[in-house]
Chains A and B, each alone.
Chain A
Amino acid sequence: MSVAANTLSQYRDQLRSNRLGLWLFFISEAFLFGGLLVARFYLWGGTRPDLDQVTGLIITSILLLSSFFMYTAEVAAEHENRKTFLFSLIMTALLGTAFLVGVVVFEWGGHIKPWDGAFGAVLYGMTGMHALHVASGIVFILIVWYNGLKGHYTAERHWGVEACAIYWHYVDVIWVFFYPAIYLIGTVPT
């Protein structure tokens, strides 16, 4: 076996451990977000705060679209399509930022404040913890984009891109459950 083939073989072995480690991290994170979901259903029950439904739908759609661009970036990296890879990553970061702006400006800037009882505490706890993960995901994307710009990834070696993509999609999966729990389930108390 040549040195290059041997190194690639080692890389693939390492890749399996990396993937397993990342998924174990996601399982531990699921307990954190699961706890917030349980708090929502325990404290809010069949009610929900009076939030703008259209804003909720728009920011959810933005995050969904960002996931599509992240998927495109990963496929582009797998096929060494550098231009599409870099463009899709930047689009993902921009859409992630738009999502953050939507949450911080339109939801946190509304009439509900963190000190407004169970509604405020749970709403800010859920959206705040999720927004923190979105923000760290954006930083992660920008690091991968910079590395991609310097040509650090190839079709065979792009674990950084894969990890970043999986992390971003995980953040999207969390919002898939948070969106109906915050905006759709229950009735607004009169």
Chain B
Amino acid sequence: MNDKKRAAYRTGIIVFLILAALTAGEFYLASISGAAAGLFIIALIKAALIIRYFMHVNRLWAEEGHE
């Protein structure tokens, strides 16, 4: 149980750090070019990370109750 809890917290920290890095990346990218395609791709990656890890979309087809 403790290992599962630790792993869950670690996942949250890693995803948050990646999201923070991507946000800083899009801010930097906008300051040098403002290219819509690049910014849109970064936004898609951020949304996918949140939907997969924070919103647990996979629970929609999970057999059990709360993970």
Tell me which of A104-112, A123-131, A138-146, A178-186 binds B: A178-186
Min distance, Cβ A39 to any Cβ of chain B, angstroms? 16
Could you tell me if A172 and B5 are in contact, using CB atoms closer than 8 angstroms? no
How many angstroms between the C-alpha atoms of A183 and B29 in the bound complex? 12
How many angstroms between the C-alpha atoms of A165 and B19 in the bound complex? 17
A78 / chain B contacts, CB cutoff of 8 Å:
5, 8, 66-67
Could you tell me if B66 and A158 are in contact, using CB atoms closer than 8 angstroms? yes
Residue total for B at the interface (Cβ-Cβ under 8 A): 38
> Which 9 pairs of residues, A with B, have the shortest CB-CB distance?
A184-B30, A12-B65, A68-B16, A180-B39, A169-B54, A71-B12, A75-B8, A185-B36, A176-B46
Q: Which residue of A lies closest to B24 (CB)?
A: A57
Could you tell me if A79 and B55 are in contact, using CB atoms closer than 8 angstroms? no
How many angstroms between the C-alpha atoms of A155 and B55 in the bound complex? 18
Do A68 and B12 form a contact, CB below 8 Å, given A57-B23, A177-B43? yes
Q: Which residue of A lies closest to B62 (CB)?
A: A16
Do A67 and B27 form a contact, CB below 8 Å, given A78-B66, A177-B43? no
Min distance, Cβ A182 to any Cβ of chain B, angstroms? 11
Residue total for A at the interface (Cβ-Cβ under 8 A): 42
> What are 16 A-B pairs with beta-carbon distances under 8 A?
A57-B23, A67-B54, A68-B16, A71-B54, A75-B9, A78-B5, A78-B67, A79-B1, A79-B8, A162-B66, A176-B46, A179-B23, A180-B42, A184-B26, A184-B27, A187-B34
Min distance, Cβ B62 to any Cβ of chain A, angstroms? 8
Do A72 and B67 form a contact, CB below 8 Å, given A19-B59, A169-B55, A180-B26? no
B55 / chain A contacts, CB cutoff of 8 Å:
165-166, 169-170, 173
Per-residue CB contact flags for chain A residues 82-94 toward chain B (1 = under 8 Å, else 0) read 0000000000000
Could you tell me if B9 and A67 are in contact, using CB atoms closer than 8 angstroms? no
Could you tell me if B9 and A72 are in contact, using CB atoms closer than 8 angstroms? yes
Could you tell me if A75 and B5 are in contact, using CB atoms closer than 8 angstroms? yes
Could you tell me if B60 and A155 are in contact, using CB atoms closer than 8 angstroms? no
Q: Which residue of B lies closest to A15 (CB)?
A: B65
Could you tell me if B16 and A156 are in contact, using CB atoms closer than 8 angstroms? no
Min distance, Cβ A171 to any Cβ of chain B, angstroms? 10
